[in-house]
Structure formats: C-alpha cells, structure tokens
Amino acid sequence: MMARSLRVALEYIEKVKSARQRNGYPSLQKFSEDIQPSLSTVKNFFAGIAIDYEYFREICEKLGLEWQDIAYKEPETQPNKPQPTNGEASPFITGAPITQPRYFFGREKELKRLFNLLKRHPLQNAAIIGKKRSGKTSLLHYLKNITTTSAEQLRPEQKFDWLPHPENYCWIFVDLQDARMQSREGLLKYILESLKMQVPTPCDLDHFMNVVSDNLHSPTVILLDKISVGLQRCPELDDGFWESLRSLATNHTAGNLAFVLATPESPIEMAHNTGHSSPFFNIFGYTAYLEALAETEARELIASSPIAFTDEDVEWILTESRCWPLLLQILCGERLFNLEEGENNDNWREEGLRQMKSFTHLLDS
C-alpha cells in the first residue's frame, strides 16, 4: 500500500511539474507571479500537499489541467477513488506539529526520562518547558504515537520499544486551544469518551470523578497542550477543577493516571502569572527543558532528505539554524525544493533566512 501511494504521489508531482514547463514557467517563483495564490501555496501544490479548493482549481486551470483528473486519478491498474497525498513527498514539516513519528528527530535524552516516569507504577507527572515553536506539541504527539506505530511506518532502526506493554496504555491528547476543550463539560466528556467510559448525565465534576475512580484500571496519560490558554481564557477551568484532577491522579486511580503538560514556563510560574493557586501545578516532579538538538540529532534530520545535500550545505544549515528543529526543517525544506526544481544556485539560502525571520526568538540566548 505504501509503495503504491508513493508511486501515485510521484506521478502527481511529475505531471504538474511537466505542465508548468509546457506553459513556459521555468521556476515556481515565475509561475506564482502570474496567479493569485502565494508562493508558499504554489510550492505546496507542486509538492502534493493539500491546499484550498479554489486555489487548487485556479492553478490547474492556469496549467491547462483538468482538476478532477489531478485530484482523483490513480494509476490505470487501480480503481478510481480519491487518493490522499502520501507524506513521503514532504519530509520536512514547518507549518504544523509533527504527528507522524518517522518525521520526528532527536530529544532522546528527554524521551528516556519521560518514558521512565511512565513505565512503572505509580505513573509520575511531567512538564515539558520550552520557547514557542521549540517542539513541545510535537513531543507530546510523539509520546502518544511512537509505541503503537508499526515498524513499517518508522525509520529504519528508529526506537519504539519505550514501554514493556504499550498496548495497555491509553493516551489522551488535549489541545486547550480547541474551543470544545474550553468548557468544563466539554473537556470532561472528551476525556471520558477517549477512555471509552460512559458519559454521565449531567457530566459534571462530581459524576466525572466517580466514573473515572470506579473504572480506570489501566495506565492512562493525559497530555495537556497549550495549558496556559486554558488558564487565561477558560473561567470554568478554575482552581477547583484542577484540584479535582490532582486528587484523581494522586488518590483515586491506584497510580494509573499521569499528566504531561507543555508550557513556555514552569507550571507554578504559569499558575501564578494567570491568577491560579491550585496545588495541581505542584505535582510535576520532572521537567524537560527543550533546547536545540544535539548536533548528531540535527545531522540525522538533515540526512533524511530524499536528495542528499553537499557537505557545504549541511554545515551552513547547522550554523544558521543552531540545531533548532523548526529552523532545520525550514532550511532543509528550502534546499530540497531547490534541488527538486533543478536550480543550481544559492537562492534557497536567502529564501530560507527570510522564512526563518518569524522564529528568530529561538536563537536568543
């Protein structure tokens, strides 16, 4: 299945690229100057990454392509049906958290400590602290997904046996930027549904505590992302709410419940700065501080490019990114795009530095 999907993706890329060349556009920069969508949208289209429907049709029409044919046609040996873009076409990810473990690199030291806290009873709580865009959300997704992802979907020799019995674990990812998580009832209902437990009526804090206390018998980890948003914007998630969660984890679940949260500052400081005083924020005994990757980890990420970079390019990327994952992804993505377009120049460096400007806070000491 993976080989077929990759073949579809490569055929798509070849088709749209040849159409651009037929229409007299030597580069994507030139093509983007003649249409409404931005250069980044054009790049996504030619890489096989999903873009807005209207832009997709506009680009197809500009290239003289039938958009239905581009969107839905598979190789002739396969029946026609919508085909999702295969992730292999985009090895470097910059605009969203990394959710597929094969594209996540580094953080081995932090992962060893975090999984060590979670592989024995009682499960212990942890906080992940780092600057904005330092990879906190991606790390939460990695914790959730790595132990249950099949070996075929991982990199060769990528470690996945972090837990002795991963099938026994339940992982619940909570994004407190999601409006559905910002009410007490909505968040409690989501947790119960994720645990496959009956949702009581009414779904209030007392009933929630009773249901979980009586039925939680397997190791469960609740991953809290963007928790500062919940503290700042969600009055229903008050100190009483957080105190109840602390009580649930420490007194009522036989050591089967742990919390891992992500925040730009320590949980205690975050609570203080948002006007909260709940003892919930004192239970995080281990803190993982996300800094730049080790150089060996950064080199592994760079080496994952489907087209090898020169030693000179590798050293330049390491120097300019200072091994921060997001900046590595940006610069590697620009270099790969340049190579795929057959452009034998250094314009990608200028573009990469331009794309990095919004994230230079990562380089501040």
Give the end of a domain, one of 65, 89, 113: 89
Domain contains 95: no
- Are 153 and 217 contained in the same domain? yes
Inter-residue long-range contacts of 32-41, CB under 8 Å, 24+ positions, other chains counted: 34/62, 35/59, 35/62
Angle, helix 108-118 to helix 136-145, in steps of 10 degrees: 50
Residue 314 lies in a domain: yes
Based on the fold, state whether residues 78 and 111 are members of the same structural domain.
Answer: no
The distance of Cα 82 from the centroid of its chain, to the nearest Å, equals 24
Q: Are residues 130 and 233 in the same domain?
A: yes
One pLDDT digit (tens) per residue for the chain, 365 residues: 444 444 555 567 777 777 777 777 777 777 777 777 777 778 878 877 767 766 777 788 788 787 666 664 443 333 333 333 444 546 899 878 999 999 999 999 999 999 999 999 999 999 999 999 999 999 999 999 999 999 999 999 999 999 999 999 999 999 999 999 999 999 999 999 999 999 999 999 999 999 999 999 999 999 999 998 989 999 999 999 999 999 999 999 999 999 999 999 999 999 999 999 889 999 998 999 999 999 999 999 999 999 999 999 999 999 999 999 999 999 999 999 999 888 878 999 999 999 999 999 999 97
Tell me: do 233 and 352 sit in the same domain. no
Mind spelling out the 3-state secondary structure of 54-104? HHHHHHHHHHCCCHHHHHHCCCCCCCCCCCCCCHHHCCCCCCCCCCCHHHC
283 and 310 assigned to the same domain:
no
SS3 label, residue 125: coil
Do 284 and 323 lie in one domain? The reply is no
Instruction: Look at residue 94 and tell me if it is in a domain.
Output: no
Q: Which domain holds residue 343?
A: 295-363
Last residue of a domain, one of 29, 55, 89: 89
Alpha-carbon separation of residue 239 from 115, 208, 264, 278, 365 (angstroms): 28, 16, 20, 5, 34
The CATH number assigned to the domain holding 49 equals: 1.10.260
What CATH number does residue 229 fall under?
Answer: 3.40.50.300
Residues 91, 336 contacting (CB under 8 angstroms): yes
Check whether residue 299 and residue 260 sit in a common domain.
no
Kindly state whether residues 221 and 179 are assigned to the same domain: yes
CA distance 102 to 151: 10
User: Within a 10 A sphere around the Cβ of 86, how many other Cβ atoms?
Assistant: 19
Do 237 and 158 share a domain, yes or no? yes
The pLDDT value recorded for residue 95 is 79
- Same domain? 58 vs 151: no
C-beta of residue 212 within 8 angstroms of C-beta of residue 193: no
- Is residue 129 classed as helix, strand or coil in its secondary structure? strand
Three-class DSSP category at 223: strand
Do 69 and 127 lie in one domain? The reply is no
In a domain, 261, yes or no: yes
- Residue 164 within a domain: yes
**Which of 103, 27, 23 lies closest to 347, judged by CA?**
27
Could you report how far apart the first and last alpha carbons of the chain are, in Å? Answer: 46
Answer whether residue 96 is part of any domain: no
Q: What total of structural domains would you count in the chain?
A: 3
Same domain, yes or no: 108 and 240: yes
pLDDT attached to residue 75: 38
Whether residue 148 lies inside any domain: the answer is: yes
Q: What is the per-residue pLDDT for 9?
A: 57
Residue where a domain terminates, one of 270, 289, 308: 289
The three-state secondary structure class of 284 is coil
Write down the pLDDT at residue 74. Answer: 42
The answer to whether residue 10 is domain-embedded is: yes
Amino acid at 254: A
